[in-house]
Amino acid sequence: MARVLALTGDLLFGSRVQGALAAAGHEVELIADEQRLRTRLADVAAPGAEVLVVDLTDDRLDGAAIVEALAREARLAGVRTLGFYSHVDESARERGKRAGFELLVPRSRMAREGAELVARLGQAARL
């Protein structure tokens, strides 16, 4: 299963995602801010992430801009990216596309199929 970092400030939905992913055997760490994510990605002593899940609905985080900057800085080498957005927020989806997310799904699909989506991305990261 995959090692996952999940960037979201929404503790309720984040905990739901974490629980579903952990129940499927994924190792998940919730992260609520950009600085902690940067620190975690730079931590050579800890195992690296295979998948980064980002909440594109969080007004306090600009998940698309964060991922775009991290990719430009080559901090996401070997890390697959999955963003989720509100199905009524087409602009969040478009920002995610421009930022280069590998997979973008509505929040409802993340809730239903998150474990399978992460497994698929994690497997691809190991190939």
**Sole residue written with tokens 């990605």:** 41
pLDDT tens for the chain, 127 residues long, are 899 999 999 999 999 999 999 999 999 999 999 999 999 998 866 677 899 999 999 888 999 999 999 999 998 988 999 999 999 999 999 999 999 999 999 999 999 999 999 999 988 766 5
Record the pTM. 0.93
Domains parsed from the chain with CATH numbers: 3-126 (3.40.50.2300)
